[in-house]
Amino acid sequence: MASVSATSDESEASVVRRVTSTGPGKSEWQFTERGLRFSSRFDGGNMAQVHLNPSGTFDVKVSEDAAAFGISTGYSTWFYFEVEREVVEADKATKQPHDLHLTLVNLNPQRGLFKNGYTIMYSSVEVVDEPATTVTSSCVFQDEKQWARLPTLLSFEKYTAPVEESSVHGEEAQGEHIDVEEGGQEVNLVKVSLKEADAKKEVKIRLSFSYKFKFSRERVRFAFCYPYTYTRVQEELASLDRQFVEPEQRELESSISSTKEGKTPSNMYYHHTRGVNLNRVYEDPQPELAPTENMVYLDLHAHANRRGCFIFGNNHLPDMLDVNNEAMETAIARQVQTQLYARLVGLHTPFFDYMACLFDKNNMTRHDLRDNSNATTSRQGSSRVALYRATGLTYVYTIECNYNEGGVERFYTDSDDQVLKSMFLEWPEGTIYIVELGGWGTGVGFLDWKAQQWTRIPGLRFILCVVVMDRLASAEYKLYTVERNAQTNEADPLPDLAPVRVEAPHAMVKFDSRELMGLPPGAVIP
Task: Please write the tens of the pLDDT for every residue from 300-319.
Answer: 777 766 778 899 999 998 87
- HSE of 368 in the Cβ direction (CA atoms, 13 Å)? 9
What's the confidence (pLDDT) of residue 382? 81
Average pLDDT over residues 406-429: 45
What's the confidence (pLDDT) of residue 211? 94
What's the confidence (pLDDT) of residue 210? 93
Spatial distance between the Cα atoms of 214 and 501, rounded to a whole number of angstroms: 33
Task: State the amino acid at position 514 in one-letter form.
Answer: R
Give the model's confidence band at 94: pLDDT under 50 very low, under 70 low, under 90 confident, else very high. Answer: low
- Flag whether pLDDT at 401 surpasses 90: no
What's the confidence (pLDDT) of residue 312? 92
What's the confidence (pLDDT) of residue 199? 59
Judged by average pLDDT, the poorest of 194-198, 219-223, 277-281, 358-362 is 194-198
Output phi, psi for 346, to 5 deg.
Answer: -65, -35
Judged by average pLDDT, the poorest of 36-45, 156-165, 238-247, 320-329 is 238-247
Q: Which CATH architecture does the domain made up of 13-226 adopt?
A: Sandwich (2.60)
- HSE of 49 in the Cβ direction (CA atoms, 13 Å)? 23
pTM above 0.75, yes or no: no
Give pLDDT tens digits for 481-490.
888 887 777 8
The overall average pLDDT reported for the chain is 71
Q: Which residue(s) pair with 218 in the sheet? A: 85, 126
Q: Domain spans of the chain?
A: 13-226, 245-293, 311-402, 412-526
Give the model's confidence band at 262: pLDDT under 50 very low, under 70 low, under 90 confident, else very high. Answer: very low
Which residues touch 472 (CB under 8 Å, ≥6 apart)?
none
Q: Which residue(s) pair with 201 in the sheet? A: 162
What is the per-residue DSSP string for 389-447?
HHH--S--EEEEEESS--S-----BSSSS-BPPPTT----TT--PPP---S--S-HHHH
What's the confidence (pLDDT) of residue 198? 46
Task: State the amino acid at position 15 in one-letter form.
Answer: V
* Better-scored residue on pLDDT, 14 or 157: 157
Task: Provide the residue count of the chain.
Answer: 526
What's the confidence (pLDDT) of residue 170? 37
* Better-scored residue on pLDDT, 211 or 272: 211
Which residues touch 39 (CB under 8 Å, ≥6 apart)?
27, 28, 29, 45, 47, 81, 82, 84
Give the model's confidence band at 81: pLDDT under 50 very low, under 70 low, under 90 confident, else very high. Answer: very high
Quick one: which H or E segment has residue 449?
Answer: helix 444-454
* Better-scored residue on pLDDT, 514 or 161: 161
- Flag whether pLDDT at 434 surpasses 60: no
- Flag whether pLDDT at 504 surpasses 50: yes
Judged by average pLDDT, the poorest of 14-28, 201-215, 398-412 is 398-412
* Better-scored residue on pLDDT, 209 or 464: 209
Judged by average pLDDT, the poorest of 65-69, 254-258, 290-294, 365-369 is 254-258
What's the confidence (pLDDT) of residue 420? 38
- Flag whether pLDDT at 45 surpasses 50: yes
* Better-scored residue on pLDDT, 142 or 408: 142
Average pLDDT over residues 316-325: 78
Residue of 234, 255, 192, 254 whose CA lies nearest to 52: 192
Output phi, psi for 311, to 5 deg.
Answer: -135, 155
